[in-house]
Amino acid sequence: LSAKEWKQLSSQWREELDRRIHTLVALRDELDGCIGCGCLSRSDCPLRNPGDRLGEEGTGARLLEDEQN
């Protein structure tokens, strides 16, 4: 790889790493509350995710994923 190619590649990786770091920080900071994963929503998250409506959007931490976009 040339220096220019490496700079482009590392720039793309930097953006991806920043995105992943942001996700992990959000997970750490919001882990004690509802992240829209469905595990607690039926009993503990009636205001943020009543009836697990976020589950219709797919699996995983829907609220964290929405913050990234």
Per-residue pLDDT reduced to its tens digit, 35-66: 666 665 555 566 666 667 777 777 677 777 65
The band of 17, judged by pLDDT with boundaries at 50, 70 and 90, is very high
Specify the pLDDT at position 5.
92
d(CA 7, CA 11): 6
Specify the pLDDT at position 18.
94
Q: How many domains does the chain have?
A: 1
Specify the pLDDT at position 2.
94
Please check whether residue 43 is in contact with residue 15, taking contact to mean a CB–CB distance below 8 angstroms. no
The count of C-alpha atoms lying within 13 angstroms of the C-alpha of 29, restricted to the half-sphere facing its C-beta, is: 8
Q: What percent of the chain has pLDDT over 90?
A: 23
Question: Could you tell me the residue range of the domain that residue 36 belongs to?
Answer: 3-68
